[in-house]
Amino acid sequence: MASNGVIPIKKADCLELTGDISPVEAEQAVRGVPRVNIRFSGFKDGRGFSLAALLRRAGYKGELRAVGPLLHDQVDDLKRMGFDTVEIERRDSPARIRNTGGMNSIYQPDPGAPLNRASAMHQRAVTIRKARAETLAAQTEGASPEEILRVATAEYGGRIAMLSSFGAEAALGLALVADIAPDTPILFMDTGQHFPQTLTYRNRLMEHLGLTNLRTLKPAADQVEAEDPGGDLYLTDGLACCDLRKVRPLAAALDSYDALITGRKRYHGGERGQLAAIGFDGERVKINPFAFLSREAVAERYKALDLPRHPLIENGYASIGCWPCTAPAMEPGSREGRWTGQDRKECGIFDPARARRAKRAGAIRLIQTEPRRLGAERIA
């Protein structure tokens, strides 16, 4: 038990502390914990600021998240004290807003007003990162996959990962990474609804390419039990299923990365038709080494490299994801067969509305122009 009767609150993937805990006990409690929430009783509670600074000076490298009825004007100070994220809790009552300082960002006592406007610092950082991504995009327009990946790893080295579904065209991107940046973490979303053939193919492909830095991400068991106990959420709300099984687990693992390598290509069509080699989606930079390749060029590369193909391709599957949202397609190499019967053309991870939904949720990621590298925990 901590001093003054304060007990650190343990959660599934983090530790929650209040300002009453002693520095010595806090340092001991956070050892080996990837994320620490520091709860503020109010916006005037200075103990949380002090505790964050003490933990950083003591060498804590994980994520620090400020939680409570804080003000947007405090974001700069929170960052300076060592926080990575601030989660501003909404107050429903006008009286509580006045008493606790839980006002909206323009100081109008309207409990329905949004609490997600980022500080000027945050907006400047986003603008800088977006401008840099646009510069790199112009530099790599029409470039080869090899050149695009070399530019990206030079710019974001140590803060870049590859996102792979181990689907129909995954082997090409993984082979490129194995050749140019083999230590790159490979993030795989094990949604619990993959085809068995995909899991077998994942293992075979990693071994074939000599890649060893696989990080398998899974949805939180308690969230699955609460939101999809029957495993059939996809029948009524495909986007909610993606949020549960893909978006949230990925978001929890991405704080150490500023850029993600994807296998998206312009010939996939839809919103991918104007894809840049390097782009910024408001949260992270996305690297698309194969954006400019034609379907024929992809096939030629597969043949030249003698890469193993996903076993479901022989059964007519052109694009392969979770089994509830994947069906055979008429055109090889297309996105046909995905989300049949649903009014959508994109995975939840790349859904343009995803960033807007994340912003409305109230968590502001403190994007830095030169981010401090966090101690990443390998996810088994």
Give the tens place of pLDDT for each residue, 149-183.
999 999 998 899 998 989 888 999 999 999 999 99
The whole-number pLDDT of residue 363 equals 42
The whole-number pLDDT of residue 70 equals 84
Cα distance between residue 157 and residue 153, in whole Å: 5
The highest-confidence range among 23-27, 40-44, 172-176, by mean pLDDT, is 172-176
When pLDDT is cut at 50, 70 and 90, the band that residue 360 belongs to is very low
When pLDDT is cut at 50, 70 and 90, the band that residue 372 belongs to is very low
The whole-number pLDDT of residue 293 equals 93
Residue 36 pairs with which residues in a beta bridge? 15, 64
The whole-number average pLDDT for the span 96-122 is 37
For residue 184, give the DSSP letter. Answer: S
Higher per-residue confidence, 376 vs 137: 137
Pick the CATH number of 3-117 from 3.20.20, 2.60.120, 3.40.109, 3.90.1720: 3.20.20
Query: Is the pLDDT at 196 greater than 60, yes or no?
Result: yes
Higher per-residue confidence, 354 vs 210: 210
Residues of the chain with CATH 3.40.50.620: 123-351
Cα distances (Å, whole numbers) of residue 368 to 21, 183, 252? 29, 24, 18
Query: Is the pLDDT at 28 greater than 50, yes or no?
Result: yes
- The model carries a pTM of 0.58
Residues 6+ apart with CB under 8 A from 325: 234, 238, 338, 339, 340, 342
Cα distance between residue 250 and residue 291, in whole Å: 22
Structure tokens at 94: 């006008």
When pLDDT is cut at 50, 70 and 90, the band that residue 107 belongs to is very low
Q: What is the mean pLDDT of the chain?
A: 77
What CATH architecture is 123-351?
3-Layer(aba) Sandwich (3.40)
Residues of the chain with CATH 3.20.20: 3-117
The whole-number pLDDT of residue 278 equals 95
* Residues found in the chain: 380
Query: Is the pLDDT at 7 greater than 80, yes or no?
Result: no
The whole-number pLDDT of residue 172 equals 93
The whole-number pLDDT of residue 91 equals 55
Residues 6+ apart with CB under 8 A from 249: 189, 217, 218, 219, 220
The whole-number pLDDT of residue 349 equals 57
What residues act catalytically? Answer: 347
CB 368 within 8 A of CB 128: no
Q: Which of 160-174, 192-206, 273-287, 328-342 has the lowest mean pLDDT?
A: 328-342
The whole-number pLDDT of residue 255 equals 78
The whole-number average pLDDT for the span 129-158 is 93
When pLDDT is cut at 50, 70 and 90, the band that residue 206 belongs to is very high
When pLDDT is cut at 50, 70 and 90, the band that residue 242 belongs to is confident
Query: Is the pLDDT at 35 greater than 80, yes or no?
Result: yes
Q: Which of 179-183, 196-200, 354-358 has the lowest mean pLDDT?
A: 354-358
The whole-number pLDDT of residue 122 equals 64
Query: Is the pLDDT at 299 greater than 80, yes or no?
Result: yes
| Helix pair 170-180, 145-156: axis angle to 10 deg | 60
The whole-number pLDDT of residue 24 equals 85
Structure tokens at 237: 């709300």
